[in-house]
Structure 1
Amino acid sequence: MKRKINIYTNFILLITFLFIAGCTDDLDQSDPNSETLLSAEEVYSNPDSYIQLVAKLYAGLATTGQSGPAGNPDITGIDEGESQYIRGYWVMQELTTDEAVISWNDKTIKDFHYHTWTAGDAFINATFNRLDFQVKNCNEFLRQTTDEKLDSRGISGSVREEIATYRAEARFLRALSYWHFLDLYGSVGLVKEDSPTDFFLPEQASSEELFTYVKEELLDLVNALPAMGQNDYPRADQGAANMLLAKLYMNAEAYIGEKRFAEALPYIQNILNGPYSLHDSYEELFLADNDSNGAQNEFIFAVAYDGLFTQTYGGTTFLTHAPVGGEMNPDDFGIDGGWAGLRTTSALVNKFQMGDDQREQFFTQGQNLEIEDIGSFTDGYAIAKWKNIDSQGEWGSNGTGAFADTDFPMFRLADAYLMYAEIVAREEGGSESAALGYVNALRERAFGDSAHNISTNDLTEDFILDERARELHWEAHRRTDLIRFKKFTGSAYLWPWKGRVPNGAPTESYRNIFPIPSNSLAANPNLTQNPGY
């Protein structure tokens, strides 16, 4: 069925030797291989190992440890599935907004929707540590692949050229994690491959310093990475760097207090002029064969999952299982059973016309539109967007349906279309006619005709924010979008149970970023807590 995982499958034996140091609740950025240095040196001396080593960096976005879905975790102190990169990021991006609520009573999980989280929150701590762990591994790969190291090991020829590409990919993955740090936490310790490898406590970098670092890394990687469409799926290429640069500039006001929308435009245009194309079926973007059914041509950067080789209780296994409950049939989703957790609010439902738009993937049978009790799965419509079934109706490769094959598109072309239109709506550049063309292309795919196309007068900031919800809901964009439009906290936009009130209530502006976890503050006296916490 899907075999894009070839970059992942060969690293399994290596991780017995590499990257085995679990991430603890401090900001020690020392060499994660310090306890297995001899084995690491032996592995890095093998020219065939480098592709497997960079595969481990990509797997850091998908897996949670060294023993399948659970048993030998990277991150300690929390359920292993809850420590997974995409699951942690998704929870913080979606459960804090109008797009998602959860019925579970796992620790403080409901605090996200209520906007009552604290610095002691275990989920905030786990995501912080996951990002930190990913940065450590990228740094170590870069330390081990310097010219000096490669010379000492006699690595030369075509392998040496390939390693130069792998280094660019490692830098991109590190920049991605630092962007997530910046977006979620504002300011953290900035550690690079030339930082000390012995135990040390890094100084805290300001949001301005983090912004500048990520920007400069990406400006270099726009040229250093393989050309768009020229790297193996789902590895990063220049398209991924262009898209992340655009994201950085689009949200610059939230990060550094400066509007930089116009600076995002050239990088968006690079994407629009690239090899990407809209897939003709919205539903197929989120199916088990979205790496091969044509949907992958819309993906600019994706995190790959496989029910056999990247088993996890996070990622798209979480997104296919957690929304299924009530009268929903798990067989329709290619899973072994629903977890009866995730639903959405009427605020999202009401943005649709109900019945005309292919993006309306609500399950309503036995579900109430309004939420009287967040803890009741049947309060709130369910969303049937993510499935472990392919475009031919077959289940994913796992067979039992326990783990999903569906890839997670972190960046896709539709997002670039809407970012371009947003810049035009903000009068920061671009062509109005081109913006209308991009938005209407999405709407024609959604409605199947041009009857619902918009005109010039419709192209407003409010429309773009709502269209982003219709197109990109449950893809981990919503919190960042609402902050950019100044509607995440405060009273400008209320949704059910925001502020722990049935009809919504204003929340404090300091919650636009999350706190530095208490455990990290206690471990590193160089860190200062974000205001308000």
Structure 2
Amino acid sequence: MKISFKYISYFLLFILGLSMTLTSCTDDLNVTPKDDDEFLSDDFFKDPTSYKQVLAKLYAGLYVGGNDGDGMPDISGLGGDFSSYLRLMFVTQEFPTDEAIVAWNDDGLPALNMQRWSPSNQFLYGIFSRAFYEISVANEFLRQTTDEKLTERGFDSNLKAEVATFRAEARFLRAFSYYNLMDLFGNVPITTEKDPVGLFYPEQKTRAEVFAYIESELKDIDAGLAASKTNEYGRVDKTAAKFLLAQIYLNSKVYTGTERFNDAAIVCNDIITGSGYTFANVPYNYLFAANNDRNGAQTEVIFPVIGDGNAIRATGGGMSFILHASIGGSMDAGKQGMNGGWAGIRTRPEFVKLFPDVDASGDKRGTFYTNGQTLDVTDASVFTNGYAVTKYSNLNSDGTAAQRTDIPDTDFPMYRLSDVYLMYAEATLRGASSGNVATALGYVNKIRLRAGAGIVSTSDLTLDFILDERARELFWECHRRTDLIRFGKFTGGSKIWQWKGGVKNGSSTDSFRDLMPIPSTAIQANPTLKQNPGY
């Protein structure tokens, strides 16, 4: 099946010929024919090309909010732009932290800026539902691709072998969604392809049980995933599963109460020394340019969420949201390769102060726009309060234009090798017996040399330094909330930033907010769900 994956991901979002709207987390997959021209699931899967199309739907769901891009939203009650997975990850991982703040007053956004959210927050409902929707599509795909089903449909061994790889990828994407649910909400239900379709109340599992399920899945799919760097660009391979495994091990103390730092270091070392992914020896800004899939940056990107200005119809999701929303004030949108800005996202002064200057002379990663912007965020609803961030661009790395200016070509680097370097260094500093401090220092300095930030010595390599270095290297890549929680600095008073706690100079917040509340809509749909403490 020689189909361009990048294009079917976005052009064939009507796959299954179904209206698949997740009305609650208790509906595994609500499958209803939309009109007489559409097919039921069994009929659809008689076409051998359908399997890659469904896989593409799963990947596309990371960027777009519904069929036809932002149109025909997947999630009932939320528009396609508001329910984009990547957009919701950015909202929940960045807005409650020192790295970003949004000017808009949409119901629920100011609360995220200030760590004052409630179970009725529509954006928490959005990511909860989006993750379970992706799980539902993966479950249905796995039901339809058993060896028994493929044999009944008369497919040969070649297709069966290809579909076996698709199944492993679907299981990875399902594990990815369970990871986000575990990270944000803690105790959540688990549904798999073995559960019935339709209304039922899946049992809510403890965070530790969800962790164990994810770990088991990631280990089990290793044999079925494509070898490292052999899959189509944009699709995951064995290394992506190892990255997620290292990520859960690094955060294991938070999720389960048990440290797994040595396991994290072992997996990170395996990725660094044996995966074939290599550190991109290109300028830092190349990693976030419109042609970051081919300008040399792609050698370190383990799991990209692919973008394409011509193929994607999502004007408000994914990278289109991140780029448009970060342009405002006196900024020239054309210098970012865009046709305009939405005057939404900028950063807080505490993050700016992690860099030696604001003009990227002492650290090329500190790309701020300051003209007409104040460092202090006196009024969170005013875009010009707070420095703007120009990390992402819809221009090619040589300055030439991308395909179009309304929807960017820029791929989002969900997982990259630099993060693995920093995870290894952190695990080593936290006592991983297999870790080596000199090796960790080398990895950190490799990152800093690319940034023009200067090397550091062993005495500089502390956990506080690693947290700051993760911010400098990985900001606006949807890691900050998780990182701050792991370091014990998300809630409480050990780390304060403007508007944390709802006051201009920041204040301590309650530790129960390390977990987001289970959305009230989900509890109404499934009364067996128990709310997180404090809410």
Name the SS for the 2:89 alignment partner.
Answer: helix
SS of 1:301's equivalent?
Answer: strand
Is the counterpart of residue 367 in structure 1 residue 373 in structure 2?
Answer: yes
**Mapped contact 2:218–2:241 kept (Cα < 8 A):** yes
Partner of 2:207: 207
**Counterpart residue type for residue 439 of structure 2:** A
Q: Partners in 2 of 1:16 and 1:458 — Cα distance?
A: 53
Equivalent position of 2:408 in the other structure: 404
Whole-Å Cα distance in 1 between the matches of residues 52 and 79 of structure 2? 30
Q: Residue deviations 1:150-195, cap 9 Å, x none?
A: 1110112211100000000000000000000000110111000000
Q: Which residue of 1 aligns with 2:59?
A: 58
**Code of the aligned partner of 1:285:** L
Secondary structure of the 1:134 match is helix
**In the alignment, what sits opposite 1:432?**
437
| Structure 2 residue corresponding to 1:329, chosen from 324, 327, 332 | 332
Structure 2 counterpart of 1:348: 351
Task: Provide the residue aligned with 2:171 in structure 1.
Answer: 171
**1:474-485 superposed matches below 5 A:** 474-485=476-487
Tell me what 1:9 maps to: 8
Amino acid at match of 2:525: A
The whole-number CA distance in structure 1 between the counterparts of 2:198 and 2:509 is: 42
How far, CA to CA, are the matches of 2:229 and 2:368 in structure 1? 34
Aligned in 2, Cα 1:394/1:506: closer, same or farther, shift over 3 Å? Answer: same
Asked whether the 8 Å contact 1:32–1:140 carries over to 2, the reply is no
Aligned to 1:358: 364
Q: Distance in 2 between matches of 1:17 and 1:423?
A: 43
- Report the CA distance between 1:427 and its aligned residue: 2.3
TM-superposed deviation, 1:226: 1.0
Aligned residue among 489, 492, 508 for 2:491 = 489
2:168–2:225 Cα contact (<8 Å) kept: yes
Query: Aligned to 1:159, what secondary structure does the other structure show?
Result: helix
Query: Which shifted more, 79-88 or 470-479?
Result: 79-88
For residues 57-456 of structure 1, the aligned pairs below 5 Å read 57-70=58-71, 72-273=72-273, 274-279=275-280, 280-312=282-314, 313-354=316-357, 355-397=361-403, 399=404, 401-429=405-433, 430-447=435-452, 452-456=454-458
Measure the CA separation in 1 of the matches of 2:123 and 2:10. 28
Question: Which deviates the most, 168-177 or 196-205?
Answer: 196-205
Residue type of the alignment partner of 2:54: L
Provide the C-alpha distance between the structure 2 equivalents of 1:138 and 1:427, rounded to a whole number of angstroms. 37
SS at match of 2:137: helix
Q: CA deviation at 1:383?
A: 0.3
Letter in 1 for 2:31: N
Q: Distance in 1 between matches of 2:296 and 2:154?
A: 42
Unpaired stretches in structure 1, ≥5 consecutive residues: none
Cα deviation digits, residues 239-261 of structure 1 (max 9, x gap) = 10000000001011111111111
The answer to whether the 8 Å contact 1:7/1:52 transfers is: no
* Distance in structure 1 (CA, Å) of the matches to 2:303 and 2:469: 21
Q: Which amino acid aligns with 2:225?
A: L
Identity over aligned pairs, percent: 45
**Unaligned runs of at least 5 residues, structure 2:** none
Identify the residue that residue 501 of structure 1 maps to in structure 2.
Answer: 503
Computed over aligned residues only, the root mean square deviation of the Cα atoms, in angstroms, reads 1.6
Task: Report the Cα offset of residue 203 of structure 1.
Answer: 1.3
* Separation of aligned partners in 1, 2:4 and 2:184: 29
Q: Residues 406, 19 of structure 1: CA spacing in aligned structure 2 closer, same or farther, 3 A cutoff?
A: farther
Deviates more, 1:257-266 or 1:136-145: 257-266
Q: Do the aligned partners of 1:11 and 1:52 also contact (CA within 8 Å) in 2?
A: no
SS of the equivalent of 1:411 reads strand
> 2:121–2:519: 8 Å Cα contact kept in structure 1?
yes
Task: Specify the code of the residue in structure 2 equivalent to 1:365.
Answer: N
Residue 463 of structure 2: aligned partner: 461
Q: Is the 8 A contact 1:234 1:303 kept in 2?
A: yes
Residue identity matched to 2:293: D
> 1:80 aligns to what SS in structure 2?
coil
316 and 509 in structure 1: CA distance in 2 versus 1, 3 angstrom threshold = same
Question: Contact conserved, 2:286 with 2:297, CA < 8 A, in 1?
Answer: yes
CA contact (8 A) 1:357 1:447 kept: yes
Cα separation, partners in 2 of 1:415 and 1:16, compared to 1, 3 Å = closer
Whether contact under 8 Å (1:5, 1:304) holds in the other structure is: no
Deviation at 1:10, TM superposition (A): 6.5
- Matched letter for residue 33 of structure 1: V
Counterpart amino acid of residue 14 in structure 2: I
SS in 1 for 2:263: helix
Worse-superposed segment, 271-280 or 236-245: 271-280
Once residues 154 and 13 of structure 2 are traced to their aligned partners in structure 1, the CA distance between those partners, rounded to angstroms, is 20
Contact 2:17-2:39 at 8 Å conserved across structures? no
- 1:333 maps to a residue whose letter is Q
Once residues 356 and 97 of structure 1 are traced to their aligned partners in structure 2, the CA distance between those partners, rounded to angstroms, is 24
Cα distance in structure 2, aligned partners of 1:59 and 1:253: 32
SS of 2:451's equivalent in the other structure is helix
TM-score for the superposition, normalised by structure 1: 0.95
Whole-angstrom distance in 2 between the partners of 1:120 and 1:242: 35
2:27 corresponds in structure 1 to 29
Equivalent position amino acid for 2:375 in 1: L
What SS is found at the alignment partner of 1:327? coil
